[in-house]
Every structure is written in C-alpha cells, then in structure tokens.
C-alpha cells in the first residue's frame, strides 16, 4: 500500500497512486514499506534481460498488478525495437572505476523515456482498476524533454489523449522540431506566447477547474498527470540501477555483494531518488553522488541541511537541470524523518511560504551517510566534455558531463576507487551546439542539422536517427496561441 508524505492516514493501492498522481493533501505517494532485494535475487536477475529484470523489480512495488499485466506493460515499453540498444540501458566502461550507464536509447534520446515509455501502459491499466473505462486526458507543460517523451509514450495508446503546451521561444531547436513533427492520432502540440511558467500555470488552472472536470466527465473523460512526481514514473527508474549492478556483476567488473557508487546529474531529484530506493531495497550501493549545474540549491542542501531557493536562477547549457524546487526531495525527507508526515508537511509549508527550510541535525546526519554533492558551471561542463572525448574517446552530453565532473572531483578528494555508475541522461546530439563547441569551437556555425553533421564527422559518433531523421518530417503542429486561449485549445483538441 501507499501513503502520503503529508498524511499517514492515507492508504491507497499502487494503481490508485498512479491514477491520481498526487495525494489530495498535496503530498506525494510513497510505499508504506520498501520491499527488499536479496543478493540471491540479484544473482537471478543477472541472468535475465532488461525486461525480465523490470518485471521482477516492478512487481515488488506494484503488487496489485498481475504478473501478466506487468509483462504486457514492460514489453509494450521496452520491446518491439523502440530502444536503439538491445540492452535498453547499457553500461559502458569509461576508465578505471568509472562506468557510464546510457539511459537515452529510447525514442526521444533522453532518459525521460525510461519512465515515460512505460507510464502510459501502467496508467491505462491503473485507470481501468480505479475509474473504469473513461478516456484519460493528459495535459503537459514542458520546457523541452518531458513533453516530447510524454508524446512518444502516449502516442496511439488506446483510450488516451495527450496535449502538450510549450513556450514558443523557450525550447531548443531540436526539441521544438521533435514536438512539431510528432506523429500519432491522439496527440496535440501547441505553442504559447509566454514562458514555461505561463504554460505550467495555465495547465494547472485547467487541471484544477471544477467546471472543466465536469465537462470532461459528461463526455466520459478524465484528466491524469504524467509529471515526474507520479509514482508510475519513479518506480521504473529503480529498475535501471538494479540492472546496472547486474551488468557489472555479469561483466566481472564487480563480485556479487560488492558495493558500487552512483553519480547522477540532478534537477527534480527523481533520478537520484530512484537510486536511493534501490539502495534501501538492498542493492549494494555506497555513496550517491548528486551533481548539479550552477543552480546548486541541492549541493548546498545536502551539505548543510538548509534548503534555500531564494537565489538567482541561471539558464545553463544543461537546461533540464535548471530547477530551484526539487519536488521529489519531499519523499527523501519523509523517509529520513522516519515517516513523520507532520514534519515533512511542515518543511514543505516553510518552503512555499519563505522559500526555505532547515532540516533537523539527525536528518542531516543521515543525508551525509548516503549522499555526496557537488556542482559545476558551464565552462567546467564544456571542458569536461572536451577532456572526456579527447582522453577517453567518449562523447557525452552537457548533463552527463556535470555528473562526470562532480564524480572526478569526488574521486580526487576521497581516493575512493569503488566502481561507480554515472547516469548518462541525454544523447550529445540533443544539445549539439554546446557539445560541438566543447569538441571544436571552430565548427559551431550554420543550422542545427549542419552542426549535427559536423559533430558526427568530427567524432565518428552517429547522430541518432530519432533526431536526424526529423529533418525530412512534415510539421504537423504550428499553432501559436495566447496563454489566455489554452482552455479553448484543450476543448478544441478534445472535440467538446
């Protein structure tokens, strides 16, 4: 069963947690008990492929789904050649104790696919268990990666519709191309004149408007959410950390039972929280290394226990980590406070009122036992991309480079040579201009596809077809609306 981080009296099934997204009290759903994973089980999982591992790990959390349902969900997400690597999330040795796990072989070339490919399958089954045969309507406001990954995930999924709003001048060239050429009969994409916050506030307002809900209900529809606090996005992320460990055992890089470290480029704290859950289950993990860009609110917090969002916001070359409120941190606070709903709710109330809270000394001590944190700026990010490419012959994107840099600093400072899995969250071709300038600044010129070609030519790394194939795709969605017209756009798309 699941409860809320802000009210321990809540009891819902996994299906309800996924269908509802967020608890009515504003808290996040968390399992009342974290299931265990023994070394014997890890040994068994090592012999399975990614899908086999996913069914087993997800089954521990989604116990109200049948085995057949989970097999269907997993094969719908990770089967059928949707990922360009057979291993789904392959682990590549970079040097010494550093291993990179590539989480971007899915349809949109960012790690969001790992969860958003399976979420629609989980969500439609969860909805069937909880609200019957209503059509599920997903609204997304995006600053780039999430919108495209959600579109690909929900594309042509029966009984669902998805509409994505993005700020017309607020996404990268490649990200915009990915969205406006989106295929599928149940999808809609709309640009708004405004910034990401406008898009997000607009979606929130529509989502919580009782009149809109009533009209949808009259038409046999219901809103649901695909954002990163949904348990249906977190659970699938636990799987790939278990899978990375199994791969290292299989490759002989570690022995069963040896500890590993994990380094994660972090924004909303979702990805690294999944690694924390894996550790709590019993996966032998020592340090969780949390890497941030110039928006280093988490570096400070994990170091001194003070979360303070009252600081400048920086637009960086790793935009998916440009976040000052890391929503998933609430789940960690709940666990570390021993499941204290009042205390967790109190911290969150302080955050929304003053933009700041300080955790108790015992919570900080627990944080320090598991986590290390570091950050780097854009210059250091680019230098790292250049060095890793020239010295290790590995090309990484701007987000991954932040984690590599922070890990290298950790390793130098501590002398810790424990095998470490660095989460690689995007293909370098999603952020071509920045990566190209790190490899050879003289090549940065011309249109997006010319630069992608230059990057491929200079490095011998192929541009994923999911990105370069877009050049020939027809633009399907060119509507740009005022932010006041979002509700009308939703009705129009739904035909109500």
137 neighbors 216 (Cβ within 8 angstroms): yes
Would you call 392 a catalytic residue per the annotation? no
Which residue's CB is nearer to ligand PLP, number 62 or number 149?
Answer: 149
Shortest distance, position 111 Cβ to ligand PLP, whole Å? 6
Which residue's CB is nearer to ligand PLP, number 186 or number 261?
Answer: 261
- Rule CB under 6 A: say whether 267 interacts with ligand PLP: yes
Which residue's CB is nearer to ligand PLP, number 110 or number 122?
Answer: 110
Q: Which position among 43, 56, 60, 112 bears the catalytic label?
A: 112
Residues near 349 by beta carbon (within 8 Å), at least 6 away in sequence = none
Which residue's CB is nearer to ligand PLP, number 230 or number 425?
Answer: 425
Shortest distance, position 413 Cβ to ligand PLP, whole Å? 23
Which residue's CB is nearer to ligand PLP, number 397 or number 448?
Answer: 397
- Rule CB under 6 A: say whether 112 interacts with ligand PLP: yes
- Rule CB under 6 A: say whether 113 interacts with ligand PLP: no
Residues 18-77 interacting with ligand PLP (rule: CB under 6 A): none
Q: Pick from 108, 143, 225, 271: which binds ligand PLP (CB under 6 A)?
A: 271
Which residue's CB is nearer to ligand PLP, number 65 or number 166?
Answer: 166
Q: Near ligand PLP by CB under 6 A, which window of 263-271, 305-313, 440-448, 485-493?
A: 263-271
Which residue's CB is nearer to ligand PLP, number 149 or number 481?
Answer: 149
Residues 211-230 interacting with ligand PLP (rule: CB under 6 A): 228
Distance CA 319, CA 224 (A): 26
- Rule CB under 6 A: say whether 145 interacts with ligand PLP: yes
- Rule CB under 6 A: say whether 296 interacts with ligand PLP: no
Shortest distance, position 224 Cβ to ligand PLP, whole Å? 20
Q: Pick from 399, 401, 422, 429: which binds ligand PLP (CB under 6 A)?
A: 399
Which residue's CB is nearer to ligand PLP, number 299 or number 425?
Answer: 425
Number of residues that bind ligand PLP (CB under 6 A): 17
Shortest distance, position 149 Cβ to ligand PLP, whole Å? 8
Q: What are 274's two structure tokens?
A: 């999944």
Which residue's CB is nearer to ligand PLP, number 74 or number 291?
Answer: 291
Shortest distance, position 482 Cβ to ligand PLP, whole Å? 28
Q: Pick from 232, 270, 374, 428: which binds ligand PLP (CB under 6 A)?
A: 270
Q: Pick from 3, 425, 437, 466: which binds ligand PLP (CB under 6 A)?
A: 425
Distance CA 27, CA 124 (A): 23
Count of alpha carbons within 13 Å of 489, Cβ hemisphere only? 25
Q: What are 433's two structure tokens?
A: 């201009």
SS3 labels along the chain: CEEECCEEEEEECHHHHHHHCCCCCCCCEEECCCCCCCHHHHHHHHCCCHHHHHHHHHHHHCCCCCHHHHHHHHHHHHCCCCCCCCCCCCEEEEECCEEEEECCCCCCCECHHHHHCCHHHHHHHHHHHHHCCCEEEEEEECCCHHHHHHHHHHCCCCCEEEEEEEECCCCCHHHHHHHHCCCCCCEEEEEEECCHHHHHHHHHHHHCCHHHHHHHHHCCEEEECCCCCCHHHHHHHHHHHHHHHHHHHHCCCCCCCCCEEEEEECCCCHHHHHHHHHHHHCCCEEEEEEEECCCCHHHHHHHHCEEECCCCCCCCCCHHHCCCCCCCHHHHHHHHCCCCHHHHHHHHHHHHHHCEEECCHHHHHHHHHHEEEEECCHHHHHHHHHHHHHHHCCCCCHHHHHHHHHHHHHHHHHCCCCCEEEEECECHHHHHHHHHHHHHHHHCCCCHHHHHHHHHHHHCCCCCHHHHHHHHCCCCCCCEEEHHHHHHHHHHHHCC
Q: What are 389's two structure tokens?
A: 């490419």
Q: Near ligand PLP by CB under 6 A, which window of 28-36, 49-57, 107-115, 345-353?
A: 107-115
Shortest distance, position 436 Cβ to ligand PLP, whole Å? 17
Q: Pick from 142, 320, 420, 432: which binds ligand PLP (CB under 6 A)?
A: 320
Q: CB count, 10 Å around CB of 185?
A: 7
- Rule CB under 6 A: say whether 426 interacts with ligand PLP: yes
Q: What are 382's two structure tokens?
A: 């680019």
- Rule CB under 6 A: say whether 265 interacts with ligand PLP: yes
- Rule CB under 6 A: say whether 321 interacts with ligand PLP: yes
Q: Pick from 3, 16, 108, 268: which binds ligand PLP (CB under 6 A)?
A: 268
Q: Pick from 65, 269, 276, 429: which binds ligand PLP (CB under 6 A)?
A: 269
Shortest distance, position 323 Cβ to ligand PLP, whole Å? 7
Interface residue list for ligand PLP (CB under 6 A) = 110-112, 145, 228, 265-271, 320-321, 399, 425-426
Question: So which residues are the catalytic ones?
Answer: 112
């Amino acid at each position: 069963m699941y409860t809320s981080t802000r009210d321990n009296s809540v009891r819902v099934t996994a299906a309800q947690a996924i269908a509802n997204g967020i608890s009515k009290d504003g808290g996040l759903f968390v399992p009342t008990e974290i299931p265990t994973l023994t070394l014997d089980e890890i040994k068994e999982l090592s012999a399975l492929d990614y899908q086999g591992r996913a069914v087993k790990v997800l089954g521990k959390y989604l116990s109200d789904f049948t085995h057949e349902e989970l097999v269907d969900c997993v094969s719908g997400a990770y089967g059928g050649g949707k990922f360009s690597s057979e291993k789904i999330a392959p682990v590549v040795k970079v040097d010494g104790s550093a291993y990179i796990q590539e989480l971007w072989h899915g349809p949109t070339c960012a790690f969001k696919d790992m969860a958003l490919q399976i979420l629609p399958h989980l969500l439609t089954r969860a909805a069937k268990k909880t609200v019957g045969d209503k059509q599920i309507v997903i609204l997304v406001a995006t600053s780039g990666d999430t919108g495209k990954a959600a579109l690909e995930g929900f594309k042509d999924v029966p009984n669902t519709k998805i509409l994505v709003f993005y700020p017309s001048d607020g996404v990268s060239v490649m990200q915009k191309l990915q969205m406006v050429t989106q295929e599928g009969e149940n999808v809609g994409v709309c640009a708004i004149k405004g910034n990401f916050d406008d898009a997000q506030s607009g979606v929130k307002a529509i989502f919580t408007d009782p009149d809109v809900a009533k009209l949808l209900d009259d038409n046999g529809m219901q809103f649901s959410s695909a954002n990163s606090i949904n348990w249906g996005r977190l659970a699938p992320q636990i799987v790939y950390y278990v899978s990375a460990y199994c791969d290292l055992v299989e490759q002989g890089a570690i022995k069963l039972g040896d500890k590993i470290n994990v380094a994660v480029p972090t924004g909303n704290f979702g990805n690294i929280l999944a690694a924390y859950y894996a550790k709590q289950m019993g996966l032998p993990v020592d340090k969780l290394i949390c890497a941030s860009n110039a928006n280093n609110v988490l570096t400070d917090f994990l170091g001194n226990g003070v979360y303070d969002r009252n600081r400048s916001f920086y637009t960086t070359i790793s935009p998916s980590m440009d976040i000052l409120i890391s929503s998933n941190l609430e789940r960690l606070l709940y666990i570390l406070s021993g499941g204290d709903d009042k205390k967790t709710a109190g911290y969150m109330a302080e955050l929304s009122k003053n933009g700041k809270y300080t955790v108790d000394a015992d919570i900080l001590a627990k944080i320090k036992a598991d986590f290390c944190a570091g950050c780097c700026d854009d210059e250091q990010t680019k230098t790292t991309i250049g060095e890793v490419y020239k010295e290790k012959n590995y090309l990484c994107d701007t987000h991954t480079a932040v984690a590599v840099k922070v890990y290298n600093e950790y390793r130098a400072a501590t002398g810790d040579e424990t095998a470490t899995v660095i989460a690689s969250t995007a293909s370098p071709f999603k952020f071509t201009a920045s990566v190209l300038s790190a490899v050879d600044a003289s090549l940065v010129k011309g249109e997006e596809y010319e630069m992608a070609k230059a990057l491929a030519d200079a490095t011998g790394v192929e541009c994923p077809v999911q990105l370069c194939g877009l050049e020939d795709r027809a633009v399907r969605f060119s509507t740009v609306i005022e932010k006041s017209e979002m509700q009308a756009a939703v009705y129009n798309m739904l035909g109500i």
